[in-house]
Amino acid sequence: MVRTEQDIKLEKKVSQTILASQQTPAVGEAGHTGEWRTKRPILHTEKCLVVKTGKLTCNLCWLYCPENTVSRSIPPKFNYDYCKGCGICATECPAHAIEMISEKEAPSCEGNEGGN
Protein backbone atom coordinates (compact mmCIF):
# COMPACT_ATOMS: atom_id res chain seq x y z
CA MET A 1 0.00 0.00 0.00
CA VAL A 2 1.32 3.47 -0.91
CA ARG A 3 2.14 5.82 1.96
CA THR A 4 1.32 9.44 1.36
CA GLU A 5 3.39 12.38 2.58
CA GLN A 6 0.63 13.00 5.12
CA ASP A 7 0.96 9.40 6.37
CA ILE A 8 4.71 9.87 6.85
CA LYS A 9 4.27 13.17 8.75
CA LEU A 10 1.64 11.54 10.93
CA GLU A 11 3.88 8.55 11.67
CA LYS A 12 6.70 10.89 12.70
CA LYS A 13 4.41 12.84 15.00
CA VAL A 14 3.02 9.75 16.73
CA SER A 15 6.49 8.23 17.09
CA GLN A 16 7.62 11.37 18.88
CA THR A 17 4.55 11.21 21.11
CA ILE A 18 5.28 7.60 22.04
CA LEU A 19 8.91 8.37 22.81
CA ALA A 20 7.81 11.25 25.06
CA SER A 21 5.45 9.05 27.03
CA GLN A 22 6.27 6.96 30.04
CA GLN A 23 2.76 5.64 30.62
CA THR A 24 2.69 2.15 32.12
CA PRO A 25 -0.87 1.31 33.22
CA ALA A 26 -1.74 -2.05 34.70
CA VAL A 27 -4.07 -4.29 32.71
CA GLY A 28 -7.71 -4.16 33.77
CA GLU A 29 -7.70 -1.49 36.47
CA ALA A 30 -11.50 -1.19 36.01
CA GLY A 31 -11.93 -4.89 36.75
CA HIS A 32 -13.66 -7.44 34.55
CA THR A 33 -15.79 -5.27 32.28
CA GLY A 34 -17.42 -7.74 29.93
CA GLU A 35 -20.70 -7.72 31.86
CA TRP A 36 -21.29 -3.97 32.23
CA ARG A 37 -19.59 -2.36 29.22
CA THR A 38 -22.17 -0.74 26.89
CA LYS A 39 -19.88 0.00 23.94
CA ARG A 40 -16.80 -1.65 22.46
CA PRO A 41 -14.12 -0.54 20.01
CA ILE A 42 -13.71 -2.32 16.70
CA LEU A 43 -10.82 -1.83 14.31
CA HIS A 44 -11.15 -1.00 10.63
CA THR A 45 -7.84 -2.54 9.62
CA GLU A 46 -7.80 -0.95 6.18
CA LYS A 47 -7.42 2.49 7.86
CA CYS A 48 -4.96 1.52 10.60
CA LEU A 49 -1.46 2.99 10.15
CA VAL A 50 0.44 0.01 11.57
CA VAL A 51 -1.43 -2.33 9.24
CA LYS A 52 -0.82 -0.03 6.28
CA THR A 53 2.89 0.29 7.00
CA GLY A 54 3.50 -3.16 8.48
CA LYS A 55 5.45 -1.45 11.27
CA LEU A 56 4.75 -0.45 14.88
CA THR A 57 4.83 3.22 13.93
CA CYS A 58 1.66 4.47 15.57
CA ASN A 59 -0.04 2.48 18.33
CA LEU A 60 -1.59 5.55 19.92
CA CYS A 61 -4.55 3.32 20.82
CA TRP A 62 -2.17 1.17 22.87
CA LEU A 63 -0.51 4.22 24.36
CA TYR A 64 -3.64 6.05 25.48
CA CYS A 65 -5.82 3.16 26.65
CA PRO A 66 -6.19 3.73 30.42
CA GLU A 67 -6.73 0.00 30.99
CA ASN A 68 -3.78 -1.21 28.90
CA THR A 69 -6.17 -3.47 27.02
CA VAL A 70 -4.93 -2.74 23.50
CA SER A 71 -2.01 -4.82 22.25
CA ARG A 72 0.99 -3.23 20.61
CA SER A 73 0.80 -5.51 17.62
CA ILE A 74 -0.07 -5.64 13.93
CA PRO A 75 -3.01 -5.26 13.93
CA PRO A 76 -3.72 -3.86 17.38
CA LYS A 77 -6.14 -6.09 19.31
CA PHE A 78 -8.56 -5.27 22.08
CA ASN A 79 -8.93 -7.36 25.20
CA TYR A 80 -12.68 -7.28 25.69
CA ASP A 81 -12.39 -8.97 29.06
CA TYR A 82 -11.01 -5.72 30.47
CA CYS A 83 -11.88 -2.96 27.94
CA LYS A 84 -14.37 -0.62 29.65
CA GLY A 85 -15.64 0.98 26.45
CA CYS A 86 -14.51 4.52 27.28
CA GLY A 87 -13.71 5.34 23.64
CA ILE A 88 -10.39 7.08 24.29
CA CYS A 89 -8.66 4.83 21.76
CA ALA A 90 -11.17 5.86 19.09
CA THR A 91 -10.80 9.55 19.97
CA GLU A 92 -7.00 9.43 19.84
CA CYS A 93 -6.66 7.35 16.66
CA PRO A 94 -5.33 9.78 14.04
CA ALA A 95 -6.57 7.60 11.19
CA HIS A 96 -10.14 7.20 12.48
CA ALA A 97 -9.61 3.45 12.29
CA ILE A 98 -11.45 2.65 15.53
CA GLU A 99 -15.23 2.74 15.78
CA MET A 100 -17.21 2.43 18.98
CA ILE A 101 -20.24 0.22 18.54
CA SER A 102 -22.96 -0.71 20.98
CA GLU A 103 -22.64 -4.09 22.67
CA LYS A 104 -26.02 -4.95 21.17
CA GLU A 105 -24.53 -4.58 17.67
CA ALA A 106 -21.37 -6.48 18.59
CA PRO A 107 -20.66 -9.98 17.37
CA SER A 108 -21.38 -12.72 19.91
CA CYS A 109 -17.69 -13.62 20.30
CA GLU A 110 -16.09 -12.17 23.44
CA GLY A 111 -12.49 -11.29 24.16
CA ASN A 112 -9.22 -10.57 22.36
CA GLU A 113 -10.73 -9.54 19.07
CA GLY A 114 -9.11 -7.24 16.55
CA GLY A 115 -12.40 -6.16 15.00
CA ASN A 116 -13.03 -6.23 11.26
Q: How far apart are CB 98 and ligand SF4 at their closest, in Å?
A: 5
Q: Which is nearer to ligand SF4, 85 or 113 (CB)?
A: 85
Q: What is the DSSP string of 3-68?
A: PPHHHHHHHHHHHHHHHH----PPTTTT---TTT--EEEEE-TTT-HHHHHSSSS--HHHHH-TT-
Closest approach of Cβ 12 to ligand SF4, in Å? 13
For ligand SF4, which is the closer residue by CB, 27 or 108? 27
Q: Which is nearer to ligand SF4, 54 or 108 (CB)?
A: 54
- Binding region for ligand SF4 (CB under 6 A): 41, 43, 48-50, 58-61, 65, 67, 69-70, 76, 78, 83-89, 93, 95, 97-98
Burial of 54 per CB tally in 10 Å (0-12, 13-18, 19+): exposed
